[in-house]
């Protein structure tokens, strides 16, 4: 039986059952990695992460037990035609047609929300998710390298990176200084050069208004956004940036997000410099952060190398898969 799961009406037991599926599925596909805490899952289900649009959830039940879950994020702005789908099953219930049944059950909602394409970014390469995706008509469009840094064991001498001549570093939390915000919004656009493979996802077009709106959204969720930027002394322009977020319900975890160097400033070591400086600040200001995670397109060898240099280790890769809703529907009609 497949049911909608409404986070605003769910009980603690309902969330716990949902969480059990997520945790067991992750333990099977990413053994040894810390599980998402229940409270963090509940928070994200009630209010999706900034920039991810509105969410909807389903559960698959067998004999009244939740054995499968599905989350759909209806991306917005430049990605309003994409539904980001994540289906997960308890390992012992896999291969019984439940994943396909869940996907089939959510298709009417995807069409009602005028979604053209389905993407899923959370498939661990070489696991059931990859073979299943192919079967249901989702093709691989991108490979993503996952890297993690454990602060307790990291070699901190690697963070001793000098600031290239002609630049100074600035640091802020939550709100870009008024004097830099316009230049910072422009610099964020440098992320557009980060490869997205054949994914239909489009990076946001940053403006001062969107930067301020994103900051406000993060603040409203209690997420602490830390920025290290490099300012080009001659022009006063932000030429590189790196962003790391810590969530209130997961204080031991750092989400290393965008790092971007403006095109004309590349090749001077600014990427490594801002990233290393972020780590130096973080371990002093937030010693409770024990694990930092980041993802990078597999073709983005420069970023991956920078991460290696500052002490990240590489985890099993992810693949992003994608298919047109109509094509997936046709494929699913043929699968049991
Ligand atoms: C991917 C997942 C949801 C599939 O759910 P499922 O209920 O086991 O899948 P189904 O039984 O509907 O599989 C349908 C078809 O997909 C293919 N398939 C599924 N798992 C497979 C595997 N491990 N190896 C090879 N083919 C597989 C088969 O063709 C299968 O049909 P068959 O069993 O008649 O041969 C489940 O394995 C899972 O939770 N994985 C972890 C999370 C994940 O990667 N989700 C995908 C992102 S949306």
**pLDDT digit string (tens) for 158-186?**
999 999 999 999 999 999 999 999 999 99
Euclidean distance between CA atoms 127 and 129, whole angstroms: 5
Q: For residue 163, what are the domain limits? A: 155-310
300 ligand 1 Cβ < 6 A: no
Helix H or strand E segment including 265 = none
Please, is 305 exposed, middle or buried when counting C-beta atoms within 10 Å of its C-beta (0-12, 13-18, 19+)? exposed
Q: Is the C-beta atom of 29 inside 6 A of ligand 1?
A: yes
Q: Looking at the structure, do residues 160 and 92 belong to the same domain, yes or no?
A: no
Closest residue by Cα to atom 40, ligand 1, is 129
Atom of ligand 1 at shortest distance to CA of 123?
44
**265 Cα to the center of ligand 1, angstroms:** 45
Q: Is 92 in the pocket of ligand 1 (CB under 6 A)?
A: no
Residues 160 and 289 in one domain: yes
The Cα–Cα gap between 176 and 206 comes to: 14
Residues 166, 293, single domain; the answer is: yes
Q: Domain check: are 75 and 27 in the same one? A: yes
Structural domains in the chain (count): 2
Q: Give residue 60's pLDDT.
A: 98
pLDDT given at position 336: 64
- Rounded to the nearest 10 degrees, how much is the dihedral formed by the CA atoms of 39, 37, 217, 270? 160
Q: What pLDDT is attached to residue 92? A: 97
* pLDDT at residue 182, rounded to an integer: 98
248 and 272 co-located in one domain:
yes
Segments in the chain below pLDDT 50: none
pLDDT at residue 334, as a whole number:
87
In this predicted structure, what is the pLDDT of residue 137?
97
Ligand 1 center–CA 96 separation, angstroms: 8
**Which residue owns the Cα nearest ligand 1 atom 4?**
99
Residues 132, 37 within the same domain: yes
Note the pLDDT tens digit of each residue in 15-35: 999 999 999 999 999 999 999
């Amino acid at each position: 039986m497949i049911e909608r799961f409404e986070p605003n009406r769910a009980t603690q037991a309902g969330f716990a059952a949902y969480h059990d599926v997520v945790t067991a599925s992750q333990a099977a596909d990413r053994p040894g990695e810390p599980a998402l805490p229940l409270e963090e899952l509940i928070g994200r289900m009630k209010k999706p992460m900034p920039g991810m649009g509105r969410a909807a959830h389903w559960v698959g039940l067998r004999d009244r037990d939740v054995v499968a879950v599905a989350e759909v994020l209806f991306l917005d702005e430049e990605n309003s035609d994409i539904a980001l789908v994540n289906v997960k099953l308890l390992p012992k219930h896999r291969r019984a047609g439940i994943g396909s049944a869940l996907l089939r059950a959510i298709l009417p909602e995807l069409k009602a929300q005028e979604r053209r394409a389905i993407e899923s970014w959370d498939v661990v390469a070489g696991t059931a998710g990859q073979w299943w995706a192919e079967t249901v008509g989702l093709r691989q469009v991108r490979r993503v390298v996952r890297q993690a840094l454990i602060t307790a064991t990291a070699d901190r001498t690697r963070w001793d990176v000098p600031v290239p001549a002609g630049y100074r570093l600035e640091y802020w939390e939550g709100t870009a200084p008024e004097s830099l915000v316009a230049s910072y919004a422009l610099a964020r656009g440098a992320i557009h050069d980060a490869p997205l493979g054949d994914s239909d996802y489009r990076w946001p077009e940053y403006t001062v208004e969107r930067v301020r709106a994103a900051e406000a959204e993060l603040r409203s969720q209690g997420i602490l956004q830390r920025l290290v930027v490099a300012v080009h002394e001659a022009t006063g322009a932000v030429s590189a940036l790196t962003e790391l977020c810590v969530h209130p319900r997961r204080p031991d975890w750092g989400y290393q997000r965008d790092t971007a160097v403006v095109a004309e400033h590349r090749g001077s070591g600014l990427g490594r410099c801002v990233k290393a400086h972020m780590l130096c600040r973080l371990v002093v200001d937030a010693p409770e952060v024990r694990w930092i995670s980041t993802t990078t397109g597999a073709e983005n060898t420069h970023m991956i190398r920078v991460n290696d240099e500052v002490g990240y280790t590489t985890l099993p890769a992810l693949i992003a898969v994608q298919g047109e809703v109509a094509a997936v529907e046709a494929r699913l009609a043929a699968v049991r």
